[in-house]
C-alpha cells in the first residue's frame, strides 16, 4: 500500500512543479519598433553623415546662382618709406624724408560663360541626388533596424523555448528520482535525466546570451547605448502572421517607381546628363567686365627737410625769373623787377627765406595722411574670350562626361534588374515561409503528442527513460523550428518591403 502511495505521489510531481513555476517579472522598459526607428533616425552615425551633405548641397546651389551676379571688392592699406638718400645717377643724390601713405580701391567685376550659366541646373541635379541618397540610406536603416528588431524577438522566443525545455527536464529528473526511490526505476535513468537537465541548462544560458547580443546589435544599429541593463529591456511590438495576397506584377511596378536605390541612381544619372551639357559649354566664348576706383595719400614726416627743399625750389625759380628779366630789359621790354620775382616765388625781399604764406602752403600740401586722398581716374574694361585650341582638354572633359553618363545608365539598368530579381525572389520566399509555418506547427503538435505518450508510458512503467529523452529533444527542436519559421516569414516580408520601397503590412 505504501509503494502505491509513493507511485501516485511521483506521478503528481510534474503537476506540482508546474504549479510552483516562478513568474517572470515584466521588463522595466519596453521599446516599440516605431520608437526604435525614430531613435535610429536621430542617432545612427551613418545616417547622420548622409544628412550632413544636405547643407553643403544647398550652399553649392546658392553659390552657383551667386556666380551669375557681379563680384565686388574693397581694399584699403597704409605704407611707410624710411628716410635716406635717393641716387638718381650721374652723381645726383637727393636726401629724402620718411614718407607715410594710405590708399584705397574699390572694384566691380562680372564674368559670364557657359559653365556659369549651366551651374545652377547642375547643382540642382546634385541636390536632388543628395536627397535621394539620404532617402536610400533611410530606407536601408529602416530595413536594418526592423530586421534586428525581429531578430531580438526571435531570440526572446528561443529563450522561452529553452526555459520550457528546462522545466520539462526538471520534471523528468524529479519523476525518475521518485521512481528510483520506490524501486520502480534505475539509477541509470536518474543519471540520464540529470545529464538531460544539465544540457538544457547550458542551452538556456546560450539562448539568453544570444538574446543579449541581439539587443546589443539592435542598439548599435540605432546608434545609442542601452539605457538600462539588457535584461530589463523588452520589446513591445508583435507581428501577426497573415497569408500573403500580393500581386507580383503590381509589386514589380511599385518597386520600379519607388525603390530608393533605383531613385538615387536615377538622380545621379540625371546629374551626369547635366554634366555632359556643362562640358559642352567649354566650347562657347566667355565675357568679362571690370570697373574700379582708387586713391592714395603721401606725407613726408620731416617738415624741415620739406621746407628746405621748397626753399631751394623757390630760389631756383626766382633766379630763373631774374635771368629772364635781364633778357626782357635787353630786349626793351618792361622789366619784372627782382622784388616781384622774389615775391612770385614765395621769397621774402631778401630772397633767402620763404614767406609765411609760402611756408604754410607747403606744410598744408603735405598734410594728407591718412584720409586726404588724391583720387585716381576711373577705369573700366570689357573683354570677350574664345579659346581656339587648348590641347584637346575640352574634348577630353566632354568625352569623360559622356562616359560617366553612359556608366550611370548601365548602373541604373543593373540596379533595376537586381531589384526585380529581389522582389521576385522574396515574393516566392514569402509564400514558402508562410507554408513552412503550417508545416512546423503540425510538426510541433506531433512532437508534443509524442512527448505526452512517452511520459504516460514512462509513468505507467511500460516506457523507458530513453523514449522520454528523445521525445523531449524532438519537442525542443520542433518548437525552435516553429519560432524560426515564424520569424523567417516576418524577415522575408520586411525584405520584400525594402525591395518594393514601401510598407506592405496592413
Into how many domains does the chain fold?
2
The CA distance from 257 to 245, in Å, is: 21
Query: Do 152 and 107 belong to one domain?
Result: no
Kindly state whether residue 417 falls inside one of the protein's structural domains: yes
Average pLDDT in the 172-187 region?
Answer: 90
CA atoms within a 13 Å half-sphere pointing along the CA-CB vector of 362: 23
DSSP code, position 354? B
Which single residue is written with the C-alpha cell 541646373? Answer: 121
Q: Roughly how many angstroms between the first and final C-alpha of the chain, as a whole number?
A: 63
> Which of 369, 385, 401 marks a domain boundary?
385
Q: What are phi and psi of 360, to 5 degrees?
A: -65, -40
The CA distance from 145 to 34, in Å, is: 10
Q: How far is CA 233 from CA 78, 99, 147, in A?
A: 70, 80, 18
pLDDT at 21: 39
Q: Biggest alpha carbon distance in the chain?
A: 176
- CATH classification of the domain holding 194: 1.20.1600.10
The CA distance from 202 to 208, in Å, is: 10
Query: Do 232 and 105 belong to one domain?
Result: no
DSSP per residue, 282-310: GGS-EEEEEEEEEEEEEEES-HHHHHHHH
User: SS3 of 46, please?
Assistant: helix
Query: Do 379 and 397 belong to one domain?
Result: no
Kindly state whether residue 51 falls inside one of the protein's structural domains: no
C-alpha grid cell, residue 206:
546560450
pLDDT at 268: 96
Query: Do 36 and 140 belong to one domain?
Result: yes
Query: Do 6 and 138 belong to one domain?
Result: yes
User: SS3 of 71, please?
Assistant: strand
pLDDT at 65: 95
* The Cα angle at residue 472 between residues 162 and 481, in degrees rounded to 5: 55
DSSP code, position 335? P
pLDDT at 341: 85
Q: What is the pLDDT of residues 292-308, one digit of tens each?
A: 999 999 888 888 888 88
Pick from 168, 275, 61, 476: nearest CA to 267: 275
pLDDT at 90: 60
Kindly state whether residue 506 falls inside one of the protein's structural domains: no
Query: Do 339 and 451 belong to one domain?
Result: no
Query: Is the predicted pLDDT of residue 288 greater than 90, yes or no?
Result: yes
Q: What is the pLDDT of residues 243-269, one digit of tens each?
A: 999 999 999 999 999 999 999 999 999
At 382, which helix (H) or strand (E)?
strand 379-385
Kindly state whether residue 432 falls inside one of the protein's structural domains: yes
The CA distance from 302 to 310, in Å, is: 13
CB 153 within 8 A of CB 233: no
The CA distance from 441 to 450, in Å, is: 14
Query: Do 143 and 258 belong to one domain?
Result: yes
Q: What are phi and psi of 75, to 5 degrees?
A: -140, 150
Kindly state whether residue 57 falls inside one of the protein's structural domains: no
pLDDT at 505: 82
Query: Do 176 and 154 belong to one domain?
Result: yes
> Which of 385, 403, 426 marks a domain boundary?
385
The CA distance from 1 to 8, in Å, is: 11
Percent of the chain with pLDDT over 70: 93
C-alpha grid cell, residue 399:
568625352
Query: Do 421 and 335 belong to one domain?
Result: no
Kindly state whether residue 49 falls inside one of the protein's structural domains: no
Query: Do 336 and 401 belong to one domain?
Result: no
With cut-offs at 50, 70 and 90, classify the pLDDT of residue 70. very high
Which single residue is written with the C-alpha cell 544539465? Answer: 198
> Which of 385, 411, 445 marks a domain boundary?
385
pLDDT at 363: 85
Q: How far is CA 291 from CA 74, 75, 125, in A?
A: 12, 14, 34
C-alpha 299 chain-centroid distance:
57
- Those residues whose C-beta lies under 8 Å from the C-beta of residue 25, and which sit 6 or more positions away, are none
Residue 351 belongs to domain spanning: 71-112+288-385
Amino acid at each position: 500500500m505504501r509503494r502505491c502511495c509513493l507511485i501516485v505521489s511521483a506521478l503528481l510531481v510534474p503537476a506540482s512543479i508546474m504549479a510552483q513555476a516562478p513568474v517572470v517579472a515584466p521588463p522595466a522598459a519596453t521599446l516599440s519598433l516605431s520608437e526604435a526607428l525614430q531613435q535610429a533616425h536621430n542617432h545612427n552615425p551613418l545616417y547622420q553623415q548622409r544628412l550632413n551633405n544636405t547643407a553643403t548641397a544647398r550652399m553649392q546651389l546658392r553659390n552657383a546662382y551667386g556666380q551669375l551676379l557681379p563680384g565686388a571688392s574693397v581694399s584699403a592699406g597704409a605704407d611707410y618709406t624710411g628716410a635716406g638718400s635717393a641716387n638718381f645717377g650721374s652723381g645726383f643724390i637727393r636726401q629724402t624724408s620718411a614718407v607715410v601713405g594710405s590708399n584705397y580701391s574699390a572694384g566691380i567685376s562680372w564674368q559670364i560663360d557657359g559653365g556659369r550659366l549651366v551651374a545652377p541646373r547642375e547643382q540642382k541635379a546634385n541636390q536632388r541626388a543628395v536627397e535621394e541618397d539620404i532617402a536610400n540610406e533611410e530606407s536601408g536603416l529602416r530595413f536594418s533596424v526592423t530586421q534586428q528588431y525581429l531578430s531580438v524577438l526571435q531570440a526572446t522566443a528561443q529563450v522561452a523555448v529553452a526555459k520550457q525545455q528546462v522545466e520539462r527536464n526538471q520534471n523528468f529528473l524529479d519523476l525518475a528520482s521518485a521512481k528510483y526511490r520506490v524501486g520502480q526505476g534505475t539509477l541509470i535513468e536518474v543519471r540520464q535525466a540529470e545529464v538531460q537537465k544539465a544540457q538544457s541548462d547550458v542551452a538556456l544560458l546560450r539562448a539568453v546570451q544570444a538574446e543579449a547580443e541581439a539587443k546589443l546589435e539592435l542598439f548599435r544599429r540605432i546608434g545609442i547605448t542601452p539605457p538600462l541593463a539588457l535584461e530589463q529591456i523588452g520589446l513591445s511590438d508583435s507581428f501577426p502572421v497573415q497569408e500573403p495576397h500580393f500581386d507580383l506584377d503590381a509589386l514589380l511596378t511599385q518597386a520600379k517607381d519607388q525603390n530608393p536605390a533605383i531613385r538615387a541612381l536615377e538622380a545621379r544619372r540625371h546629374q551626369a546628363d547635366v554634366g555632359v551639357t556643362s562640358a559642352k559649354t567649354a566650347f562657347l566664348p566667355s565675357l568679362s567686365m571690370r570697373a574700379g576706383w582708387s586713391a592714395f595719400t603721401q606725407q613726408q614726416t620731416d617738415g624741415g627737410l620739406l621746407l628746405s627743399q621748397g626753399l631751394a625750389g623757390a630760389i631756383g625759380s626766382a633766379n630763373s625769373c631774374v635771368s629772364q628779366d635781364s633778357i626782357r630789359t635787353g630786349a626793351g621790354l618792361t622789366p619784372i623787377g627782382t622784388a616781384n620775382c622774389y615775391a612770385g616765388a614765395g621769397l621774402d625781399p631778401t630772397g633767402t627765406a620763404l614767406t609765411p604764406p609760402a611756408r604754410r602752403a607747403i606744410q598744408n600740401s603735405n598734410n594728407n595722411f591718412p584720409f586726404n586722398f588724391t583720387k585716381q581716374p576711373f577705369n573700366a574694361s570689357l573683354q570677350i574670350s574664345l579659346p581656339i585650341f587648348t590641347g584637346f582638354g575640352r574634348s577630353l572633359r566632354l568625352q569623360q562626361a559622356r562616359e560617366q553618363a553612359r556608366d550611370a545608365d548601365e548602373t541604373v539598368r543593373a540596379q533595376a534588374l537586381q531589384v526585380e530579381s529581389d522582389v521576385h525572389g522574396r515574393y516566392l520566399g514569402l509564400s514558402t515561409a508562410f507554408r513552412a509555418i503550417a508545416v512546423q506547427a503540425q510538426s510541433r503538435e506531433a512532437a508534443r503528442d509524442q512527448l505526452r505518450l512517452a511520459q504516460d508510458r514512462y509513468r505507467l512503467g511500460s516506457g523507458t527513460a530513453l523514449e522520454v529523452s528523445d521525445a523531449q529533444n524532438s519537442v525542443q527542436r520542433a518548437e525552435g523550428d516553429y519560432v524560426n519559421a515564424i520569424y523567417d516569414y516576418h524577415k522575408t516580408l520586411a525584405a520584400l518591403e525594402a525591395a518594393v520601397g514601401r510598407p506592405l503590412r496592413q
